[in-house]
Structures are given as structure tokens and as C-alpha cells.
Amino acid sequence: MNLSQVGEFGLINLLKKDLLPASPGVIAGIGDDAAVLQCAGDCWQLFTTDMLVEGIHFRLDWCDYADVGYKALAVNISDIAAMGGRPTHGVVSLALPEHIQVADVLAIYRGLREMAGLYQVNLVGGDTVKSPGPLVINIALLGEVPAGRAVYRSGAAPGDLIYTTGRLGTAAAGLYVLSHQVNCSPSLKEQLIKAHLRPVPRVAAGVLLAGLEGVSALDDNSDGLAAELREICSASSTGCLIWQKALPVLPAVSRLAGRLGTDILDWVMNGGEDYELLFTLRPKHRRAVEEALQRAAVPFTAIGVMLPAGEGLLLERPNGVREMINMRGYNHFAGSPAG
């Protein structure tokens, strides 16, 4: 069977079922943003890894080496944030094509170091090998969360409200600007490209949410809203309803999409890489959680509500019509375009 027939999620399910049994000391293994490990003391340890491959996740004619290092660490930090944790220690593996220069490798590390400095991550080791093909960077990252406080994808229930931090679709707009000749102001272009190349993981928001009552599920928006909703709904055995009118998008991004004849919903649902946090909330905790987010100056928007599983994953159009959410969120091996 070909990989595109099972897809990334199908593969994870195969692996979970047959090959990677649960073990003592492992509070949560494969299948969430990070594994959760028992450890001595009053913290749980988080452990995640993400690999970026040249030509799939980035193109060196669209970014520089420092951007690659920066983003590779940022997406791992976002996985820790998506469990409600803080990152602590990381290791970096690089497969380097023959032609690469020492200055290029040092630039990758400058990007890594910049991101590491922003989030107090200690880069403590790594491996550097030759590649006969693309540049590959893999990071494995540890984090910590107070014992009992990790937030999974699986805790949502029908009736819970669905929120996102920040704005959606900005990174997808940045990718579009990088990959097309787009006529827009240099400052907007720069802002959108930065959103794509230099995402800002929501660690403070994740830590805050993990400490609040009523936050029932948490995920980071790496693969597009549609894919993340599917993950939460699948893990929680629920459906969901998203209100299109509520989706937070930068006005300049909406206007750009309109001008280009692109469906803004496609950028939001399928673009991914915004690295915002998607979370669900028991309605009775709504006021307390919203006030806490406001006090912490974390931008957030309620974008929908969880439904019973039988309802499926629905989008309410501005005219009130409900339709199934189109599942084209980025999924390795499913043949959709790279982000």
C-alpha cells in the first residue's frame, strides 16, 4: 500500500496500535503534540521532535539559512506550548549537502540561537552528517509542565466553546507572497513573509491556559484549522461547528485574498503554519478564562462550539448555511501542496 493511501494520520494510527504500546512512566505517548513523561519532582516532562526538509518545508530561494534554524526550533517550541508547557532543552541534527559553506551552517545556528534565546531553550547537543540530497534539520525538544497540568487534544466535549489565539491565514498569505508575483505594499509583504518564516510560538498563552480551570483541549495551528479541528474532534470523539464570520483574519490579509481572487477560507482552513493555539473551553469558565487572557494581553477569539460526534465537522457560512469542513489541511503523503 502506498503512503498516500493511508496518509500521515492513518500511519500514526497503525503505529500506535501495533508497534508502540503504552509503557510505565509514559503518561501520554505518540499521538499528541508532545509525549508526556513521568519524572521525579513536581513537573511532568514533555518530549517532542519535528523535522524540516528542504524542498518540502522550506526553499532556500525564499528564505535564508538563519530563517531555517529559527523556524525549525519555533515549530518544536510550539508543540511544547500546545501541551501547556515551557521548553527547556533541545538537540539539533543537520544533514548537510556537500555544497554548503561553514558560514551557512553558522547562520543556521544563529537562527536557532535567536529563537532559543527568546524562549530560554538550552541547545545541548546534536549530530551533523552529510546529505546526498536536501538539507534536513531535525530538532528534539524537552519541556516541562506542572504535574497533572498538561492539556491534551482529547479533552473536549460537546458544548465546549472553540477559541483561537491571534489571527489565522497570515502565514499562508506570506507563503503565497513568497511563491507568486504579488503587487502589494512592501511593508505588508514584509509582514506576511515574516509571519511565514519567523512564527512566534505561543508559550506564555499555553502556560496560562494550562493553569486555568475549564480549558479542555489544546493544539497548535501548524497544519491549518481544518486539520487541527479534525485532530481535536477525533481525539475527543466529538464534532464541531465553526462560525466563518468569527474567524480572526487581518483586514489586510482579507483584502489581499479578495484582490487575488483567493478564498480566504482556504488560507485559514488549509494554510497552516500560523502557530496560534486552538483551544476548547467549558462554557461556565468562559468569563474567567477570557479575563485571564485579556489581563495577559493574549489576543483570542471564540470561533465555534463543539458538537456531538454524529454532527461531523461543520462550517456556518455568513448566510447561516452549514456545510462540511473541507479537509485539505496539510497532511504529509496526501498529495496536497507543501506549506
Binding residues among 92-151 for a second copy as defined by CB under 8 A: 92-96, 100-103, 105-106, 109-110, 112-113, 122-134, 136, 138, 140, 142
Q: Residue 48 annotated as binding?
A: yes
| Cβ-based nearer residue to a second copy, 53 or 298 | 53
- Least Å distance, CB 34 to a second copy, is 7
Contact 240, 261 (CB under 8 A): no
Q: Residue 131 annotated as binding?
A: no
- Least Å distance, CB 57 to a second copy, is 7
Q: Residue 180 annotated as binding?
A: no
C-alpha cell, 272: 497552516
Neighbours of 110 (CB within 10 A): 14
- Separation CA 131–CA 148 (nearest Å): 41
| Cβ-based nearer residue to a second copy, 13 or 254 | 13
C-alpha cell, 169: 491565514
- Separation CA 41–CA 268 (nearest Å): 41
What count of Cα atoms within 13 Å lies in the side-chain half-sphere of residue 284?
A: 2
Q: Residue 330 annotated as binding?
A: yes
Single-letter amino acid code for the residue at 69: G
- Separation CA 135–CA 51 (nearest Å): 11
Binding mask 306-335 for a second copy (x = CB under 8 A): --------------------------xx--
Q: Residue 275 annotated as binding?
A: no
Distance from first CA to last CA of the chain, Å, rounded? 25
Residues between 40 and 99 that touch a second copy (CB under 8 A): 40-43, 47-57, 88-89, 91-96
Residues between 9 and 38 that touch a second copy (CB under 8 A): 11-12, 14-15, 18-20, 23, 25-26, 29-32, 34-35, 37
- Least Å distance, CB 100 to a second copy, is 6
Three-state DSSP state, 19: coil
User: DSSP letters along 281-339, please?
Assistant: E-GGGHHHHHHHHHHTT--EEEEEEEEEGGG-EEEE-TTS-EEEPP--S--TTTTPPP-
- Least Å distance, CB 45 to a second copy, is 8
C-alpha cell, 258: 479578495
| Cβ-based nearer residue to a second copy, 49 or 301 | 49
- Least Å distance, CB 96 to a second copy, is 7
Annotated binding site for Mg(2+): 33, 48-50, 79, 127, 220, 223
